Amino acid sequence: MPTVKTAGRPTRSRGAAPPHRPSGQERQAGIITAAAALFATNGFKGTTTKEIAKSVGISEALLFKHFPTKRALYAAILKEKVSIPELLASVEEAAKKRDDRQVFTLIASHRIRRSADPTLLRLLLFSALEGHEISAMFFRTQHRIFYDFLAGYITQRAKEGAFRHVDPMLAARAFTGMLAHHRLLHEIFGVPAHRSPEDSVAAYVTLFLDGLLTARAEGPPSTARRQS
């Protein structure tokens, strides 16, 4: 950067842009990104605020101004990385139309997609294994909301004669369990995927719905069913 010496002290030359100072919002975003990476690598208990501050290049005091506790920071990570309200709105709209395939496809596509970030899954596993209270927060915002919704939807469709009468909660867990196992295999254990995310979603949805639909509700085989 060009400078002009005055009285033995270099000063910034005219026209030179001042160094960028991150805004509070930018600083918070940087802290969230760094903390998420550390939590996903070392766990919640294994990550200190000192390490988080160091990775961002700030002091612990400044870190605490943005996030007074690690729990507050963890909650901010969930809010930053999860778009559950938008997804749930789309799922509810499909449910109103009784579009069974779309309901399950939307949920599956949220879990299994291209360039999926394994950070959230690793955070869930770490917090659960550590027995930390934040695991309940994660479960409630990431998983329980879909268990409850799917269980209610399956119950309603069974009353309408479209689905077989099954234990709705077990069925909901079975569906989300397929998705969770898929992610564990490919994002945690590194098993190479033999089908694209889109093909995998279509196959899982077809397999599941084939087990739920009543004979009169099945009708002619769908395109997705024939392809899978």
Pairwise CA distance, residues 136 & 31, whole Å = 23
pLDDT of res. 20: 59
Q: What is the DSSP string of 92-127?
A: HHHHHTT-HHHHHHHHHHHHS-TT--THHHHHHHHH
CB half-sphere exposure, 42, CA atoms < 13 A:
13
Q: What residue ranges define each of the domains in the chain, with the CATH number in brackets? A: 22-79 (1.10.10.60), 82-227 (1.10.357)
Which residues sit opposite 74 in a β-bridge?
Answer: none
Q: Write down the H helix ranges in the chain.
A: 24-42, 49-56, 60-66, 70-81, 84-96, 100-111, 119-129, 134-139, 145-159, 168-183, 197-212, 215-218, 223-227
Supply the pTM of this predicted model: 0.73
pLDDT of res. 130: 79
H-helix or E-strand spanning residue 206: helix 197-212
pLDDT digit string, tens, across residues 57-82:
999 999 999 999 988 888 888 777 66
Output the CA torsion sign for 213, 215, 217, 223. positive
Pairwise CA distance, residues 60 & 52, whole Å = 8
Burial of residue 24, with CB atoms counted within 10 A of its CB: 0-12 exposed, 13-18 middle, 19 or more buried: exposed
Pairwise CA distance, residues 223 & 52, whole Å = 49
pLDDT of res. 164: 95
pLDDT digit string, tens, across residues 187-218:
888 899 999 999 999 999 999 999 999 865 55
Greatest pairwise CA separation for the chain in angstroms:
91
pLDDT of res. 222: 46
